[in-house]
Structure 1
Amino acid sequence: MKFRVLKASEIDCRIQSIGQNKTGAVGTTILLYKDARVDMNILDETVGAMNWQRGHSIIDGNLYCTISIWDEVKEQWISKSDVGTESNTEKEKGQASDSFKRAGFNWGIGRELYSAPFVYIQLDKSEYIERNGKLTSNAKFKVKDVSYDENRNIVRLVVVDSKGKVRYTFGENAQQQTQETVYNWQTLKARATQGGISEDDLVHYVTETLKVKKPSELTQEHYQQAFNWVNAQRYAKR
């Protein structure tokens, strides 16, 4: 069974972190994700609303979701499960939704998001404020266009702001970014976590492969190497 790739309208953008580079410019890294309703709609569309079901169970204090799909040939339910994490707002609802989306990834729904490039957008002064020494932003972004290759890897991506202005482009026939991308440990760790890589594994790679004693000693070149390694690990786990 093969599920279709996500449409641009089905991919949401979330501000993951905000930082200031050495020139004083402020930028944000963007996480691409799918909403649980996308999984529901694609399951309905692909196998039929009556041919799939979901269930939740608690294992060792963690909430798991199981998505089962009816196999007409084998005449049995085929199930795949994954665990969820808490949201910042509603604990139980967030875990249920997250576990459902992760179970959907196991079935292949939206798995192409694992091939997403590192999305960095430089913010205008009107798009962020500093509160208690911390930069925050309410800027909204969305995916305008996305294309994939035959292996379902993202080869083109266009992200726009709430006014429709193009703020990020990547890939085929896209004008490449000229602004400076600045990496830091938080964005690298967040990227690793998204791909199922623990902080311990990340630290081990940094110390053993890059020969850096601690994250504070990482250069931008080191970060680029680390991001490439994280992406390679993410693809291998698909």
Structure 2
Amino acid sequence: MEFRTLKANEIECRIATVKSNGISLLLYKDARCDMNILDETVGKLNWKREHSRDNANCTVSIWDDDKGIWVSKEDTGTESFTEKQKGLASDSFKRACFNWGIGRELYTAPFIWIPSDKCEISAKQNGNGSTCYDRFRVSYVGYDKERNIDALKIENEKTGKVVFSLGRNAGNYNPANQEESLKNYVTESQVKTLEICIPKHKQTIANVCRVYNVSGLRELTVEQFKKLMRNMGEE
């Protein structure tokens, strides 16, 4: 089973270090993103999470239709300073989802340095070091065939300006082009139709995704949807 790569609006930016001449950013995903992708790919009733050791450990299990068993992957969370407010439960869950491959492409992110002329850096009140309260968002992300990040665009939410750009595709990014490309993929209504029709014809969504080489029904094109409906006699 292969989960799709993260979309730009599913990737969060966090300030890692602050210096007088600039800041570095880290890319991460939150637990809600993991839950949405699990729901989307395997179905809301086909996965579960269990915590142990006072939430330090999390086991994420996915139902295997072919074998008729739950397949599980586990990991341990840490209560680091930056993640403390989210708790061990959230951190261990996200790490277990990394083991399933959800968001693993974030490990290929480049070093992201934002110079001081593109963000607002001020001295800490105690005079010991610098701080930055700006917020940043990923406006575009692209991947190569090995699912490595090869294009990235990050904007300062306060100014709306691009502060980091990687790859030719990021430089040429146009939201209108992305909107146009989305028209080639199935709509939510078509996804719901498939979710009803596939089980009715004694097929599984997992098998259909394998046949069409996609990680979820939402990655099917309109043409693939029409072909699938014809094959099921649902025209």
Shorter-chain TM-score range: 0.5 to 0.7
CA, structure 1 residues 92+146, in 2 after alignment: closer, same or farther (shift >3 Å)?
A: closer
* CA distance, structure 2, for counterparts of residue 90 and residue 17 of structure 1: 15
Cα distance, 1:19 vs structure 2: 1.8
CA, structure 1 residues 112+135, in 2 after alignment: closer, same or farther (shift >3 Å)?
A: same
* CA distance, structure 1, for counterparts of residue 96 and residue 105 of structure 2: 14
* Alignment correspondent of 2:38: 43
Q: How much is the aligned-residue C-alpha RMSD, in angstroms?
A: 2.0
- Paired amino acid for 1:157: L
* Alignment correspondent of 2:162: 166
* Alignment correspondent of 1:19: 19
> Which residue, out of 116, 124, 127, partners 2:120?
127
> Percent same amino acid among aligned pairs?
57
Task: Give 1:103-118 correspondences, 5 Å limit.
Answer: 103-118=96-111
* CA distance, structure 2, for counterparts of residue 38 and residue 174 of structure 1: 23
* Alignment correspondent of 2:177: none
Task: Give 1:203-222 correspondences, 5 Å limit.
Answer: none
CA, structure 1 residues 91+161, in 2 after alignment: closer, same or farther (shift >3 Å)?
A: closer
* Alignment correspondent of 2:95: 102
> Which residue, out of 36, 42, 60, partners 1:67?
60
CA, structure 1 residues 77+126, in 2 after alignment: closer, same or farther (shift >3 Å)?
A: closer
**TM-score, normalization by structure 1:** 0.66
Segments of structure 2 that go 5 or more residues without pairing to the other structure are: 172-235
* CA distance, structure 2, for counterparts of residue 44 and residue 92 of structure 1: 25
CA, structure 1 residues 155+92, in 2 after alignment: closer, same or farther (shift >3 Å)?
A: closer
* CA distance, structure 1, for counterparts of residue 99 and residue 83 of structure 2: 24
**TM-score, normalization by structure 2:** 0.67
* CA distance, structure 2, for counterparts of residue 90 and residue 4 of structure 1: 25
* Alignment correspondent of 2:28: 33
* CA distance, structure 2, for counterparts of residue 89 and residue 169 of structure 1: 25
* CA distance, structure 2, for counterparts of residue 115 and residue 54 of structure 1: 26
CA, structure 1 residues 89+3, in 2 after alignment: closer, same or farther (shift >3 Å)?
A: closer
Structure 1 counterpart SS, 2:56: strand
Query: Which 10-residue stretch deviates more, 72-81 or 120-129?
Result: 120-129
Which structure's CA Rg is the greater one?
2
Contact 1:87 1:94 (8 Å CA) reproduced: no
Contact 1:148 1:154 (8 Å CA) reproduced: yes
- Paired amino acid for 1:107: W
1:86 aligns with 2:86: no
Segments of structure 1 that go 5 or more residues without pairing to the other structure are: 21-25, 176-238
* CA distance, structure 1, for counterparts of residue 51 and residue 87 of structure 2: 13
Query: Which 10-residue stretch deviates more, 145-154 or 81-90?
Result: 81-90
Cα distance, 1:170 vs structure 2: 0.7
* CA distance, structure 1, for counterparts of residue 145 and residue 119 of structure 2: 40
CA, structure 1 residues 54+92, in 2 after alignment: closer, same or farther (shift >3 Å)?
A: farther
CA, structure 1 residues 93+159, in 2 after alignment: closer, same or farther (shift >3 Å)?
A: closer
* CA distance, structure 2, for counterparts of residue 17 and residue 120 of structure 1: 9
Structure 2 counterpart SS, 1:42: helix
* CA distance, structure 1, for counterparts of residue 114 and residue 162 of structure 2: 10
Contact 1:87 1:95 (8 Å CA) reproduced: no
**Higher relative contact order by CA 8 Å / sep ≥ 6: 1 or 2?**
2
Structure 1 counterpart SS, 2:110: coil
1:152 aligns with 2:147: yes
Structure 1 counterpart SS, 2:66: coil
Contact 2:19 2:129 (8 Å CA) reproduced: no
* CA distance, structure 1, for counterparts of residue 147 and residue 14 of structure 2: 22
* CA distance, structure 1, for counterparts of residue 95 and residue 83 of structure 2: 18
